Amino acid sequence: MYQGTVYLVGAGPGDPELLTVKAARVLETADVVLHDALVGDDVVDRYADATEHIDVGKDPNGERTTQEEINRLMVRKAREGNDVVRLKGGDPTVFGRGGEEVEHLAREGIPFEVVPGVTSAIAAPEVAGIPVTHREHASSLTVVTGHEDPTKDESAIDWSALADCVVAGGTLVVLMGVGRMADNARALREHGVPAETPAAVVEQATCDEEFTVTGTVGTIAERSGEVGVEPPAATVFGDVVGVRDQVVDCLEGATAARAGPWNATASDKGSE
């Protein structure tokens, strides 16, 4: 019996035009698509009529499909002879558990292929006018998850090392960190990052709801709270954030219309 292949595909940050050509081709020919909640509706809807689609993100009650359930579903569907797309927001292996899934598929003898996607760690800042590297401002880029608690004893994130990178002129991007933004900013300050260091938050990057709030390490959490920033959002720390202030008036098209001003307020966000 034919055994299907599982394709771990990155859907990008939300805009369906940022799908790679290969990702679009694989989606067009797949028998089954298992997609996360962060995959944009426009991406899912584009292929919904041609394949079996299964939402393995959060259900309406807020319950998340477990990783074990997703693993079993990928294997079962492939062994039934289906080519399966495991569709993830951004890139499959940038905090997307793609590494765990390919290990499981390999243990089960299921052929797989990874199709890289545009990660929001880079896309979110740059569509808001913030290049993550810049010869005059930033020669390094560090990406971390914001789900970790910087105060817990066994954190896998070394906030002292991250602070050193920012002080040295590097760019720090925190993904999935809206709920702990204040803690993360405080951890950076406690480890030597000046409070006046530029910072920004980009919500719903590349989507119609895209919105940017800028400030400093000392103010970004408060400003984000004032405008009601919600996930998904990427937080950027570092001198390179200041580039946005120089270019924002010339950002073209819908991105410029959605971009929030330096001193954004809740009313600004609601009117975008």
Residues with a known catalytic role? 36, 58, 176
Q: Which ranges constitute the DSSP H helices of 40-81?
A: 41-47, 67-79
Alpha-carbon distances, residue 17 vs 11, 21, 165 (angstroms): 10, 10, 33
Residue 8 carries which side chain, given as an amino acid letter?
L
**Backbone φ, ψ for residue 265 (5° rounding):** -125, 170
Q: Using DSSP, state whether 265 is helix, strand or coil.
A: coil
Q: Which ranges constitute the DSSP H helices of the chain?
A: 21-29, 41-47, 67-79, 98-107, 120-127, 159-167, 181-190, 220-227, 243-247, 253-258, 266-271
Contact 169, 194 (CB under 8 A): no
d(CA 143, CA 120): 10
Contact 229, 213 (CB under 8 A): yes
